[in-house]
Amino acid sequence: MPGFIGVPELLLLGLLALVLFGPKRLPEMGRGLGKGMREFKESITGDDHAELKRLSVAHDEETHEERREEKAA
């Protein structure tokens, strides 16, 4: 079926992304993509609770960074 992406193609794309960007950058890129999609959805729907969610996510990311720095030290 032309035009459809199946499981083998998705695996190949994932492997290609892993080789190009490395295992360290992929989670960062995924978070950035998710954040952008979330902000776009909230701007379209006019969600009033978007600011609270954004603050919660920012706090979680800061906590994650602090833990990472503690482990590195």
The tens-digit pLDDT sequence of the chain (73 residues) is 467 888 999 899 989 999 999 988 988 998 999 999 998 988 888 765 655 565 566 666 667 677 777 777 6
Give the chain's domain count. 1
In a domain, 1, yes or no: no
User: In this structure, what token pair is assigned to residue 58?
Assistant: 């920012």
Structure confidence at residue 34 (pLDDT): 93
3-class state of residue 43 by DSSP: helix
In a domain, 53, yes or no: yes
Structure confidence at residue 55 (pLDDT): 59
pTM, entire model? 0.48
Structure confidence at residue 67 (pLDDT): 73
Helices (H), 1-73: 7-45, 50-72
In a domain, 32, yes or no: yes
Buried b (16+ CB within 10 A) or exposed e, 6-41: eeeeeeeeeeeeeeeeeeeeeeeeeeeeeeeeeeee
In a domain, 44, yes or no: yes
In a domain, 2, yes or no: no
Structure confidence at residue 19 (pLDDT): 93
